[in-house]
Chains A and B, each alone.
Chain A
Amino acid sequence: MSNATTINPFATQHSLVREPALEPILKTENLWKVYRTGKLDVPALRGVNMEVSPGAFVSIMGPSGCGKSTMLHIIGGLAQATRGRVLLDGNDLTTMSDSARTLLRRHKVGFVFQKFNLLPTLDARHNIALAQHIHGDGFDPHRFEVVVRLLGLGERLDHKPSELSGGEQQRVAIARAIITEPKILLADEPTGNLDSASSENVLNMLRQLNQQFGQTIVMITHNPEAAAYGDRVIHMRDGQIVDAIGNS
């Protein structure tokens, strides 16, 4: 699916915005990442060119070590590219300082990880609210309520991660990722640690976020069934894109 317009996810009455999608929200140009191990240069990405339109749901598939996680880290501003350009919502990540990329992550990127990565000392409520706090707008009870209801977490908010199932933890992680209305949601094997029922539930959530609220999503997976939830599937091998299926 490629939406021609972007709907601000979970928009409140005053922030519901529709605007034409003229530019890709994410664009990589000849993206290289080379790791140095001892005296050996090991390229993880070798000239990746990719565009993601606003409101798209893109799945990236490939075998282990093909560079898909590296790419996710770079387009999310967690790591620096060795060469090439990454444009996220018009910002060139490759020329940004570490603190500028931190700001960009805070305001424009949401991450969902395979291992959920919730803070074990905090309950679900505070894990979600943490993102709002770091974002800097303070606690927004209306938005919190909407997100919690959407992800079906109302009954589990006072539970710590250790008291939640894998599927519930991942839903909390998704809630945390979207509570700040990011421009793009980056999911790194979000069903990798889940059973099939929970996986389906999480993937349906992501699809709902994309289709109903226009949330741009880039998801990494090596599961073809999971990848099929995206409206475009990109295949990577040896640090390069070798195939792309679906709408661009």
Chain B
Amino acid sequence: MIEHIIVRNVLHRPVRTLITVIAVAVEVMLVITVVGLTTGLLTESAKRVEGVGADIMVQPPSASIFMAFSGAPMPIQIGQKLQSLPYVQAVAPVLLQFNSVNGLDIVYGIDPPSFRAVSGGFVFHEGRDLRDPDDILVDDVYAKAKNVHVGQTLHILEHDFHIVGIVEHGKGARLFVLMPTLQEMSGAHDKASVFYVKCDRSDHTPAVIDEIQELLPRYEVRPLKDFISLMTSSNLPGLGAFINVMISIAVAIGFLVIFLSMYTTVIERTREIGVLKSLGASKAYIVQIVLSETTLLCLLGLVSGIVLSFVMRALLLRLFPSLTILIGPTWILRAGVIAILGGLLGAAYPAWLASRRDPVEALAYE
């Protein structure tokens, strides 16, 4: 019976219902998309680093695993020392530069022979390898997203580069230039941001790590095998807080809309509440009606929000093909719990207000 009352109530005011459902859907979509976007970026970035093919990554002391946030304070000569260690097959120094023109990208300054030795070399879709100071390689995802081709000029880092090749994605970055060029541009002469180390056999990795730690105490030495598991929002300063802020905003939207919606509903139905009370409905019964209606609205909003999230992802990927947005069941579930709890919280006061109505006054309400 309560189900029937709730459904009829929801259908009785279709515009109010629609707006409430949309608000909850936006709340759910915001949570799912923000988390999906950050998780996608981190995972995709980690996969690319793993895709370099190295076994070990060496960074300066206290460097973040999020390399875009690290500087370039390591002398390039460290590479020679690393190369001389037992079981080390190849070492590739890389200088990183963060590019924020036309999007956010990391540019790798590489030494082609050593990078090839560690990574096994690029798979070229078009063009050739780096040769001249103004040459740049872009990966296929970047080329598709920006609609660029071999032979075109790419203006990044206040510099005009000449696109000489389009390579398969997954080798650390989307943009590659010669290391001396990037060192010159960033004033980091003879410096590198990271050294990728390739061991002769992967089971020698722990031994090589021990050797490097002995050689370079306090330096960050990480096996790349577990890199993806380290790339979480909790390891990036501020990202966790950012996600929490976004979720809080989403919850606030849901809370306020549900509060307003159920508050006006309760006021509008004052007389009906009086009727229910005259029939002997308890306070709990009236609270149950209000909260059940809220739950139904939240569930409708949740389903719409999930659909909207996938639509938003498709839209974003169409606009920004280089993005990765991961929508997983964990955060869909969490978004649902957040939406329903936020909604119930928003409906709590209106429900309490309804249950406390004086029946005589409620019956006299016009």
Contact = CB atoms under 8 A, between A and B. Distances in A.
The answer to whether A and B assemble together is: yes
Interface of A: 73, 76, 78-79, 99, 102-107, 109, 111, 113, 117-122, 126, 129-131, 133-135, 139, 176
A103 B12 contact: no
Given A126-B4, A134-B276, A102 B281 contact: yes
Contacts of A118: 275
B358 to A, nearest CB: 8
A134 B280 contact: yes
Nearest to B1: A133
B282 A99 contact: yes
Given A119-B272, A121-B8, A121-B12, A129 B281 contact: no
Interface string B83-111: 00000000000000000000000000000
A102 B9 contact: no
Contact of B8 (A76, A109, A122): A122
Interface residues on B, range: 20 to 34
Contacts of B358: 79
A105 B1 contact: no
Given A121-B9, A121-B12, A134-B285, A78 B1 contact: no
B300 interface: no
B9 A105 contact: no
A111 B280 CA distance: 10
Contact of B280 (A79, A106, A117, A139): A106
A78 B278 contact: yes
Given A105-B279, A106-B279, A121-B12, 7 more contacts: A102-B282, A104-B280, A109-B280, A113-B363, A117-B275, A118-B275, A126-B1
Contacts of B282: 99, 102-103
A134 B275 CA distance: 12
Contacts of A103: 280, 282
Interface in B260-279: 271-272, 274-279
12 contacts: A76-B278, A78-B359, A106-B279, A107-B280, A117-B271, A117-B274, A119-B5, A119-B275, A130-B1, A131-B279, A135-B280, A139-B1
B58 to A, nearest CB: 69
A105 B360 CA distance: 13
Interface in B1-32: 1-2, 4-5, 8-9, 11-12
A73 B283 CA distance: 18
A123 B274 CA distance: 18
Contacts of A126: 1, 4-5, 8
A207 B271 CA distance: 28
B281 A78 contact: no
A106 B276 CA distance: 10
Contact of A130 (B9, B11, B274, B279): B279
A102 B5 CA distance: 20
Contact of A102 (B4, B12, B274, B277): B277
Contacts of B2: 133
A105 B280 contact: yes
Given A117-B274, A121-B9, A121-B12, A102 B280 contact: yes
B285 A99 contact: no
Contacts of B359: 78-79
B4 A111 contact: no
A57 B120 CA distance: 100
A215 B191 CA distance: 99
A129 B2 CA distance: 11
Interface core residue of A76, A102, A109, A126 (most chain B CB under 10 Å):
A102
Contacts of B363: 78, 113, 117
A202 to B, nearest CB: 18
Nearest to A133: B1
Instruction: Please give me the 9 A-B residue pairs with the lowest Cβ-Cβ distance, nearest first.
Output: A106-B280, A133-B1, A121-B8, A105-B280, A121-B12, A117-B275, A78-B359, A111-B278, A134-B279
Contacts of A117: 271, 274-275, 278, 363
Contacts of A120: 12, 272
A113 B278 CA distance: 10
A79 B5 contact: no
A121 B5 contact: yes
Contacts of B280: 102-107, 109, 134-135
A103 B12 CA distance: 30
B285 A130 contact: no
B73 to A, nearest CB: 70
Contact of A99 (B11, B276, B283): B283
Contact of B360 (A73, A109, A139): A73
B285 A78 contact: no
Nearest to B7: A121
Interface core residue of B12, B280, B283, B363 (most chain A CB under 10 Å):
B280
A65 B152 CA distance: 91
Contacts of A130: 1, 5, 279
A105 B277 CA distance: 8
Nearest to A123: B8
Interface core residue of A79, A111, A119 (most chain B CB under 10 Å):
A119
A129 B1 contact: yes
Interface string B343-360: 000000000000000111
